[in-house]
Amino acid sequence: MNPVDWWLPNYTCQACGKEIQYSDNQYLCSQCMNNLPIMQEATTTHYAPFRYAEPVRSMILSLKYNDNGLVAKALAPYLAAIYLHCIKQADKTFIIVPVPLAKSRFRERGFNQSLLLAREVAEYLTLPVRDDLLVRTRKTVIQKHMDAATRAQNMQGAFTVPLEKVANVRGQNVLLIDDVYTTGATTGACKDALRAAGAADVQILTVAAVTDF
């Protein structure tokens, strides 16, 4: 046995579950690191470091359903890098707002995966997280099989800035964080609510985006 085995802690890959040894990255094994589905295409509507493909897909599911904070820690540097390279501007400061869950869903799960992500990203960037500025006004039905137009209609008015928080949003630049960008219906409805409350700028940053290629 290599003597390093005695004192180096063993980590588990947050994508495939394999044990990692002697790794520089305590969250991902080298195989998963090398297979990350890096997004190559730039879009004008949103930012995402990854395509929604393995092994990132598994990580997002683990984050969403298992409250796996280690996944958020593993993904946060990629989101932070996108912010630093593509979104940050010298004359603008941003606040981070996670896409909120419906209250009933939050009660079911006990956590919000977007908030977990937002907190980790905020730690890298030393930006404030505000999860009190945007609320979901109603629970929306599962959108999996809806087309883009129906999804957008379904999400319309699903979010709002509470009246007593409007002053905290007015004039602010917001970095809106979510796990997956599919058609943009959810983040679009959030952006509308923030802009309606007077946000100066709203930039959408998700871990992964569904693409047709």
Query: Quick one: tokens of 155?
Result: 């999400």
Q: Which residue among 11, 12, 16, 124 contacts Zn ion (CB under 5 A)?
A: 16
Which residue shows structure tokens 């063993």?
A: 10
Listed ranges 12-20, 103-111, 113-121, 190-198: which one lies at the site for Zn ion (CB under 5 A)? 12-20
Nearer to Zn ion, 57 or 109 (CB): 57
Cβ(204)–Cβ(191) below 8 Å: yes
Report, in Å, the least distance between residue 55 CB and Zn ion: 6
Distance CA 116, CA 113 (A): 5
Nearer to Zn ion, 74 or 175 (CB): 74
Q: Dihedrals φ, ψ of 33, to 5°?
A: -55, -40
Listed ranges 16-24, 72-80, 93-101, 157-165: which one lies at the site for Zn ion (CB under 5 A)? 16-24
Q: Does 175 bind Zn ion (CB under 5 A)?
A: no
Report, in Å, the least distance between residue 166 CB and Zn ion: 45
Report, in Å, the least distance between residue 191 CB and Zn ion: 34
Q: What is the DSSP string of 145-192?
A: T--HHHHHHHHTT-EE--GGGHHHHTT-EEEEEEEEESSSHHHHHHHH
Cβ(179)–Cβ(52) below 8 Å: no
Listed ranges 17-25, 46-54, 64-72, 103-111: which one lies at the site for Zn ion (CB under 5 A)? 17-25
Residues 19-78, interacting with Zn ion (CB under 5 A): 29, 32
Distance CA 72, CA 166 (A): 29
Report, in Å, the least distance between residue 9 CB and Zn ion: 17
Report, in Å, the least distance between residue 35 CB and Zn ion: 8
Nearer to Zn ion, 18 or 88 (CB): 18
User: Within a 10 A sphere around the Cβ of 49, how many other Cβ atoms?
Assistant: 23
Nearer to Zn ion, 31 or 156 (CB): 31
Nearer to Zn ion, 3 or 9 (CB): 9
In 50-156 the beta strands, taken as DSSP E runs, fall at 50-51, 94-98, 135-136
Point out which residues bind Zn ion (CB under 5 A): 13, 15-16, 18, 29, 32
